[in-house]
Amino acid sequence: MADLNALRQAVINGDHTSARRITEEALGENTDPLQIVTGCLVPAMDEVGRLFEEEEYFIPEMLLAARAMKESMELIRPRLTATGAPSSGRAVIGAAKGDLHDIGKNLVASMLEGAGFDVHDLGVDVPPEKYVEAVKTVKPHLVCISTLLTTTMPALKKTIDAIDAAGLRDSVKIMVGGAPVTQQFADEIGADGYGENARSAVQKARELTARGAA
């Protein structure tokens, strides 16, 4: 029997080789793929987020854990699709126009994937119209916009305004984040949510999409 506890631990430890091996074993034994995700990968990434908040983990540890989780997920995804298991939701993510920094944005994208979201990453320096386009084509439940610099903070509002002007605001929940962003700023520009770090971003994403589905 594949040891799912060991898989969880391998993800927490950032051991992608073991994560991949145990996932292959588990799937070979016809373990329910959704159970691997919800019972194993999601709690593992939760724990990684907690360790980061406690300052036991830093960005390198987060990245290694995210890689282990992603490799496991790559094996599981085809099975999930085949069984028709629901994803947590579709998310479009990107760094705001003018912002070229993506370490934080990539971490949030990985954590969202680890939480079962279907993530569409638009990259960096994403103009508002590209978000609008993505909302039309991907039809996400969630749009996430990040910025590292105060200089590009106005671009967050412009993006939200553009989605609004396109008549799409009610179809998505919008989250913002990045070093200079605060809850107050998120409120001011009409975002639905704010994540102080990758873990709280995922918690907020879950909350928003659950409410959206209700």
Contact 176, 196 (CB under 8 A): no
In the complex, what is the shortest distance from the CB of residue 214 to other proteins, in angstroms, rounded to a whole number? 32
Q: CB of residue 43 vs other proteins: minimum separation in angstroms?
A: 23
Sign of CA dihedral 107, 110, 112, 114: negative
Looking at the Cβ atoms of 89 and 121, the one nearer to other proteins is 121
Q: Which is nearer to other proteins, 67 or 90 (CB)?
A: 67
The order of strands in the sheet holding 117-121 is: 117-121, 89-95, 142-146, 173-177, 193-195
Shortest gap between Cβ of 131 and other proteins (angstroms)? 16
Instruction: Report the distance separating Cα 142 and Cα 145, nearest Å.
Output: 10
CB of 20 or CB of 101, closer to other proteins:
101
Question: DSSP readout, 128-164?
Answer: HHHHHHHHHHH--SEEEEE-SSGGGHHHHHHHHHHHH
Q: Can you tell me which residue has the tokens 């912002």?
A: 99
When the beta carbons of 4 and 69 are compared against other proteins, the nearer one is: 69
Q: Residues 54, 57, 59, 62: what is their CA dihedral angle, to the nearest 10 degrees? A: -110
First CA to last CA across the chain, in angstroms? Answer: 38
CB of 138 to other proteins, least distance (A): 23
- Describe the crossing of helices 103-114 and 42-53 by its angle, rounded to 10 degrees: 140
- For other proteins, the closer CB: 32 or 53: 53
Binding site for other proteins (CB under 8 A): 14, 55, 58-61, 63-64, 67, 97-103, 106, 124-125, 148-151, 153-154, 157, 179-180, 182, 185, 188
Q: At closest approach, how far in Å is the CB of 83 from other proteins?
A: 31
Write down the least CB distance from residue 16 to other proteins, Å.
8
- Based on CB atoms, which residue is closest to other proteins, 152 or 209? 152
- 23, 3 contact by CB (below 8 A): no
